């Protein structure tokens, strides 16, 4: 089972009204909407940078824990706890889970 399936997240490619396409992550789970909002706003380069920083955190390398914002959605990394918090989610998820979700997202937007 993929991480996106585990979290009940689906990735979609949609046609823009005036041409072109865009990608979106969606979930029916109210608690993970901040997570899908964040993922949906990540282009290829932002996704790659986040994956790199999450890998550094997993390896114990120093990183910017208050990672920053992606189109209004913040990411905080807590390496000592092994978790991340996206936006104002009332919970944290494991760094490994979020990294895997981003890897799946990256594969999807590059396909």
Using N-to-C axis directions, what is the helix angle for 95-110 and 44-58, rounded to 10°? 150
Range of the domain at 78: 3-110
Grouped pLDDT means (10 residues each) for the chain, 111 residues: 94 87 88 90 94 96 83 89 88 95 97 88
Q: What pTM was estimated for this model as a whole?
A: 0.92
The pLDDT assigned to 49 comes to: 95
Dump pLDDT digits (tens) for 65-84. Answer: 888 778 778 899 999 999 99
To which H or E segment does residue 44 belong?
Answer: helix 44-58
The pLDDT assigned to 64 comes to: 82
The pLDDT assigned to 70 comes to: 80
Dump pLDDT digits (tens) for 42-52. Answer: 999 999 999 99
If one counts the domains in the chain, the total is: 1
**Torsion 70-10-83-45 (CA) sign:** negative
Edge-to-edge, what's the strand order for the sheet holding 93-94? Answer: 66-70, 73-78, 83-86, 93-94
């Amino acid at each position: 089972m993929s991480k996106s399936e585990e979290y009940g997240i689906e990735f979609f490619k949609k046609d823009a009204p005036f041409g072109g396409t865009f990608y979106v992550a969606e979930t029916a789970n109210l608690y993970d909407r901040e997570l899908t909002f964040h993922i949906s706003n990540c282009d290829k380069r932002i996704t790659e940078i986040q994956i790199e920083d999450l890998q550094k955190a997993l390896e114990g390398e120093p990183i910017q824990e208050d990672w920053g914002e992606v189109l209004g959605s913040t990411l905080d990394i807590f390496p000592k706890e092994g978790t991340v918090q996206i936006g104002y989610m009332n919970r944290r998820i494991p760094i490994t889970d979020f990294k895997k979700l981003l890897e799946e997202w990256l594969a999807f937007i590059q396909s």
